[in-house]
Chain A
Amino acid sequence: MTQPAPVTTAEPPVGEAAGRPPLGLRADVRNLSLLGVLAVLIAVGGITRPDQFLDTSNLQLVLTQASVIGVVTVGMTFVITSGGIDLSVGAIVALASVWATTVATQEYGFAGILFTAVVVGLGCGLVNGLLIAYGGMVPFIATLAMLASARGLALQITDGKTQIVTVQSVLDLGVPDAYILGIPPLVLVFAAVTVIGWLLLNRTTFGRRTVAVGGNAEAARLAGIDVRRQRLYLYLLSGLCCGIAAFLLIVLAGSGQNTNGNLYELDAIAAAIIGGTLLSGGRGTIVGSVLGVLVFTTITNIFALNNLQSDVQQIAKGAIIVAAVLVQRRTARGAAEA
């Protein structure tokens, strides 16, 4: 142990391992290609709407919009990497945003709103996690049930009305005066969540266990990992991210609504998948997920600037998901046959 390993490069592994880029590199290649897509999109935006698209305020807007769904996607990436799925993220964002903006909550000011949003998110994640990890429910079903219940509860709380935020310190976070070096605070929160998420997934035992559970839950269990506890933590993490996203949405919209977070589950899953996270678990990339979010948000923005309706946006999104997954399958098949 005292003697450092000699720096002999290992002889090229025999057979199918030969001529293959080292582990992790292919994920980087995919990230590069997503960066390329993003660059093309920016070029398209710059050419079709040169006056508006590259304007600082528009870029700030794009990033701000990406922040809300981005934070949700980071949590979703962990869940998918572990072999699970969380269909309830949009509903949790809705419930957290309305619970945190009731008249009663707003009396407690900034802290009351933030605390409530986070606790509601964690609470929903706890229920998901307990049902899945200890109740033995399939994640798809458990989180589908949470989707329905949380949306219902959100409607019950608001009675379908928009709850305007009156706490000035919360609203102040969204105005240009609060920008730090031109960066909206919401974007800084997103950046922080991304960095923490990346470190958590790639540099900690928690991340390693997440990947192990997703790659082979039975092997992880027999290796002595507490798979159930890990699953519980993962849905808690996703719930926490939803709570944070709900708070960002409250700042952004200045209100809480039971229709918030509509279809976030699909956007988050799609962003994670085109980023390169395996839907079957065992491999996940935070950088890819964030790039996926940026691609989708940029498309939405470009379409809006060009006065194209949301139906066209949806079609384009669908096409991108198909293209990305086809590329992934080709990569995967190449790896399997090599």
Chain B
Amino acid sequence: MATPEPPLLTMSGITKSFPGVRALDGVDLEVRAGEVHCLLGQNGAGKSTLIKVLAGAHQPDDGTITWRGEQVTLTSPVAAMRLGIATIYQELDLVAGLSVAENVFLGHEPTTAGFVVRRTSARTATAALLRRLGHPEIDPARAVGELPAAQRQIVSMARALSHDVRLIVMDEPSAALDPDETANLFRIVTDLTADGVAVVHISHRLEEIRRIGDRVTVLKDGRAVAGGLPAKDTPTRDIVAMMTGRNVEYVFPERPSVPAAPTRPPVLRVEGLTRQGEFAPVDLKLRPGEIVGLAGLVGSGRSEILETIYGARRPTAGRVLVDGRPLRPGSVRAAVRAGLGLAPEERKAQGLLLLESVTRNVSVSSLSRFSRGGWLDRTAERAAARTATRELSLRPDNPDARIRTLSGGNQQKAVLARWLLRGCRVLLLDEPTRGVDVGARAELYAVIRRLADDGLAVLLVSSEVPEVLGLADRVLVLREGHVVHTAPARELDEHRVLDLVMEGSPTP
């Protein structure tokens, strides 16, 4: 059981400061050959900084790194790569316009005479790597930009393996994957570790850590609060407590004892809404005070339905009615004017003005309310934005703070505040807790429920089934663009939903 051989990697006392913030404050991390070492911590705990130090992208201010018994300095990403440390970042760093093979061998192409790329041998080698990864169907000659997210992840893995790699760092690899793809990824990880490769795995999902992790290191506020815990046996509440300093699991707010009065006329009606190739006709009624969830895998058409209701995509058939009046199809402005609001899936890319302050992010949809003849009343704007953000307990309580500096949960609150300020009546939430840490999720759930209690109608999309079941009153289960089941959330459980999602047949 006890191995006398020294650990593959030992980081000790790693410290890294940026102007105004100490990101790492003496972190220790020990990784053994052939293990899956999970790194856990809330957003801002220092995970990203730590792996950047390990990848040679950041230089630590203090501390030592020992690699296979020898002290090393990782002066650059190339230096880390040479030692056999490969990092797969959350935002995959692939070049969309280059082929799969070109991406895999980017920077270390097999060459003739030092500069002529041997394309055939690069492709052959790439094909071999892809087979090893269980994805022989990916064509090495295809442009990476044409591949779906899951396959890009595989290409990133192939790139890592194209080096003589001993340690792979994966930053939330499963965030964009559905369960099937995740399972495949984990199979690959198991194969790799059997060959003695070590994996440092960062994830928000505790169940994943149980599945493939060997040991866990928990980071909090730039320190390792626990190192080398057994991944399988450490109780969840202990881990959550270490991450948050609190004892919280996913806590869902209570549903109102009396469900949203079915007598109230629906505020949103969706009739036969269809988009060719994306989803089959969807019918849906949403009453004020009600939270309806859409459950389904990535690619089941959840986000597409939401965006089509919102007018960001043009339906091929069907219509959306608000208060019985049909919306102009394919017009976001018509939807917003009628009282719809969307918290999009890609918060940073689709939701936020990252260079701007909280106030300006909140007020952007209500500018005409603070203007007379186009002239802005900035005092009123700031005050109203502040009222809205306070209502949601957004932190920091500073309307001039840059949105970029906020945590994921607070950025999401700013998006909600935007629609609250606008006086929206139907809130469409696409993955509202993506990138939001465990502690902040419960608070966000409470906020969403409270908004519903105040009379908002909420349509919720989430790839986390417990979230949909815990938060929604009624759930629509989607499979490949078809609604296969509709039921009150309390009549469903996770297994039933997963069954439907995998096996269910479309209702006629």
CA distance A232 to B79 in the complex (A): 50
State how many angstroms separate the Cβ of B143 from the closest Cβ of chain A: 20
Contact check: which of A16, A19, A22, A206 meets B374 at CB < 8 Å?
A206
Assess the B397–A219 pair: CB atoms within 8 A. Answer: no
Interface membership of B269, Cβ < 8 A:
no
B376 and A282 within 8 A (CB) = no
B325-381: which have CB < 8 Å to A?
A: 332-333, 335-337, 342, 344, 349-357, 360, 364-365, 367-368, 371, 374-376, 378
Name the CB-closest residue of A to B346. Answer: A218
Q: Contact string, B377-408, partner A, CB cutoff 8 A, digits 1/0?
A: 01000011011000000011110111001000
Interface string of A20-60 (1 = CB under 8 A from B): 10110000000000000000000000000000000000000
B299 within 8 A of A: no
Is there an interface contact between A20 and B349, defined as CB atoms closer than 8 Å?
A: no
Interchain CB contact under 8 A, B353 and A215: yes
Bound CA span A303–B163, Å = 57
Q: How far is the CA of A233 from the CA of B88 in the complex (A)?
A: 43
Does any Cβ of B come within 8 Å of A18's Cβ? Answer: yes
| B370 (CB) vs chain A CBs: closest residue | A205
**B20 touching A16, Cβ below 8 Å:** yes
Are the CB atoms of A17 and B18 closer together than 8 Å?
no
* Contact across chains for A17 and B375 when beta carbons are under 8 A apart: no
Give the Cβ gap from B397 to chain A, nearest Cβ, in Å.
5
Question: B312–A222 contact, CB under 8 A?
Answer: yes
Is A319 part of the binding interface, using a Cβ–Cβ cutoff of 8 Å? Answer: no
Question: Are the CB atoms of B20 and A10 closer together than 8 Å?
Answer: no
Chain B residue at minimal CB-CB distance from A206:
B374
Return the contact of B44 from the options A4, A15, A338 (Cβ within 8 A).
A15
Judge whether A224 and B332 touch: CB under 8 Å: yes
Q: Which residues of B contact A337 (CB under 8 A)?
A: 18-19
Q: How far is the CA of A204 from the CA of B367 in the complex (A)?
A: 9
Judged by a CB distance under 8 angstroms, whether B418 is at the interface is: yes
Q: How far is the CA of A283 from the CA of B401 in the complex (A)?
A: 16
> Does A315 have its Cβ within 8 Å of any Cβ on chain B?
no
A10 touches B364 (CB 8 A): no
CB pair B364–A212 under 8 Å, yes or no, is yes
B105 in contact (CB, < 8 A): no
Contact assessment for B332 and A208 in the assembled complex, using a CB-CB cutoff below 8 Å: no
Do residues A216 and B352 form an inter-chain contact, with CB atoms below 8 A?
A: yes
The answer to the question of A324 belonging to the interface, with a C-beta cut-off of 8 Å to chain B, is no
Distance A41 CA – B260 CA, assembled complex (angstroms): 71
Near B by CB (< 8 A), chain A positions 198-224 give 203-206, 208-209, 211-212, 215-216, 218-224
Q: Do A19 and B20 touch (CB < 8 A)?
A: yes
Pick the contact of B310: A209, A219, A222 (CB < 8 A): A222
The answer to whether A204 and B374 have CB atoms under 8 Å apart is yes
- Name A222's contact: one of B19, B332, B367, B398 (CB within 8 Å): B332
Report the separation of the CA atoms of residues A13 and B357 in the bound assembly, to the nearest whole angstrom. Answer: 13
Q: Which residues of B contact A221 (CB under 8 A)?
A: 312, 332
Q: Are B376 and A215 in contact (CB under 8 A)?
A: no
Please indicate the chain B residues that have their CB under 8 angstroms from the CB of A18 in the complex: 20-21
Which B14-42 residues have C-beta < 8 A from chain A?
18-21
A165-B367 Cα distance, complex, nearest whole Å: 46
Q: Which residues of A contact B360 (CB under 8 A)?
A: 208, 211-212
Per the bound structure, the CA–CA distance linking A18 and B21 in Å amounts to 8
Question: Whole-angstrom distance between the alpha carbons of A220 and B336 in the complex?
Answer: 12
Decide: A205 and B18 in contact? CB cutoff 8 A. Answer: no
Q: Is the CB of A220 within 8 A of B364?
A: yes
State whether A5 and B353 are in contact (beta carbons under 8 Å apart), knowing that A208-B376, A222-B310 are contacts in the complex: no
* A13 with B353: CB separation less than 8 A: no
Q: Are A23 and B383 in contact (CB under 8 A)?
A: no
Once A215-B356, A282-B355 are accepted as A-B contacts, the answer to whether A11 and B396 lie under 8 Å apart by CB is yes
CB distance from A29 to the nearest CB of B (A): 16
Contact B351 A219 (CB under 8 A): yes
C-alpha gap A219/B349 in the complex (Å)? 7
State in angstroms the CA–CA spacing of A225 and B352 once bound together.
13
A17 to B405, CA, bound (A): 6
Residues of B within 8 A of A283 (CB): 355
When chains A and B are docked, how far (Å) is the Cα of A13 from the Cα of B20? 11
| Contacts known (A13-B401, A18-B20, A203-B375); A222 close to B351, Cβ less than 8 A | yes
CB A249 to nearest CB in B, in angstroms, measures: 30
Query: Is the contact region of chain B dominated by helix, strand, or loop, or is it mixed?
Result: mixed
**In the complex, what distance in Å separates the CA atom of A17 from the CA atom of B402?**
7
Asked if residues A216 and B349 are in contact (CB atoms below 8 Å), the reply is yes
B387 contacts A1, C-beta separation under 8 Å:
yes
In the assembled complex, which residues on chain A have CB atoms less than 8 Å from the CB atom of B364? 208, 212, 220, 223, 225
**Cβ of A181 under 8 Å from chain B:** no
Q: Is the CB of A23 within 8 A of B349?
A: no
Which of A211, A216, A282, A337 has the largest count of B CB atoms less than 10 A from its CB? Answer: A216
Residue A107 at the chain B interface, CB threshold 8 Å: no
Which chain B residue has the least Cβ–Cβ distance from A337? Answer: B18
User: Chain B residue with minimal CB distance to A282?
Assistant: B355
Question: Does A204 contact B371, Cβ atoms closer than 8 Å?
Answer: yes
Q: How far is the CA of A204 from the CA of B490 in the complex (A)?
A: 49
CB distance from A28 to the nearest CB of B (A): 15
Cβ contact within 8 Å between B21 and A282: no
B363 to chain A, nearest CB (A): 8
- Which residues of chain A are near B350, meaning CB under 8 Å? 216, 218-219, 222
Q: Which residues of the other chain, B, contact A209 by a CB distance below 8 angstroms? A: 367
Residues from chain B with a CB closer than 8 A to the CB of A219 are 344, 349-353
**Pairwise interchain contact B371-A205, C-beta atoms closer than 8 A:** yes
Give the complex CA separation of A222 and B313 in angstroms. Answer: 11
Contacts of A204 in B (CB 8 A): 371, 374-376
Bound-complex Cα distance A22 to B488 (A): 48
Asked whether any CB of chain B lies closer than 8 Å to the CB of A172, the reply is no
Which residue of the partner chain, among B357, B376, B396, contacts A14 with CB atoms under 8 Å? B396
Contacts A13-B401, A15-B44, A208-B360 given; indicate if A5 touches B386 (C-beta within 8 A). yes
Chain B residues with CB under 8 Å of A206's CB are: 374
Which residue on chain A has the smallest CB distance to residue B390? A5
Q: Is the Cβ of A223 less than 8 Å from the Cβ of B365?
A: yes
- Report B372 CB to chain A, min CB distance, Å: 10
Instruction: Decide: B383 and A5 in contact? CB cutoff 8 A.
Output: yes
CB distance from A117 to the nearest CB of B (A): 26
Known: A1-B387, A20-B20, A223-B364. A205 touches B405 (CB 8 A): no
Q: Mark B397-435, 1 if CB is under 8 A from A, else 0.
A: 110111001000000000000100010000000000000
Q: Which residues of A contact B405 (CB under 8 A)?
A: 13, 15-17
| Whole-angstrom distance between the Cβ of B303 and the nearest chain A Cβ | 12
* Complex-state Cα separation, A197 to B190, whole angstroms: 62
CB-based contact A23/B400 at 8 Å: yes
Cα–Cα distance between A5 and B398 once the two chains are bound (Å): 12
Q: Which A residues are CB-close (under 8 A) to B44?
A: 14-15
Residues from chain A with Cβ under 8 Å of B342 in the complex = 222
Is B396 a contact of A13 with CB atoms below 8 Å?
Answer: yes
Q: How far is the CB of A58 from chain B (nearest CB, A)?
A: 39
Known: A10-B398, A13-B398, A15-B44. A338 touches B19 (CB 8 A): yes
Of chain A, the residue at the smallest CB distance from B378 is A203
Q: How far is the CA of A205 from the CA of B395 in the complex (A)?
A: 27
- Asked if B354 and A215 make an inter-chain contact with CB atoms under 8 angstroms apart, the answer reads yes
Report if A282-B19 is in contact (Cβ < 8 Å); known contacts: A203-B375, A222-B344, A224-B336: no
| 6 examples of A-B residue contacts, CB within 8 angstroms | A10-B397, A15-B44, A204-B376, A205-B376, A211-B356, A222-B351
Q: A5-B387, A205-B374, A223-B336 are in contact. List 8 more A-B contacts (CB 8 A).
A: A10-B397, A11-B396, A17-B402, A23-B357, A211-B353, A220-B353, A224-B332, A224-B365
Which 3 pairs of residues, A with B, have the shortest CB-CB distance?
A10-B398, A224-B336, A17-B405
* Interface set of A (CB-CB < 8 Å, partner B): 1, 4-5, 10-20, 22-23, 203-206, 208-209, 211-212, 215-216, 218-226, 282-283, 334, 337-338
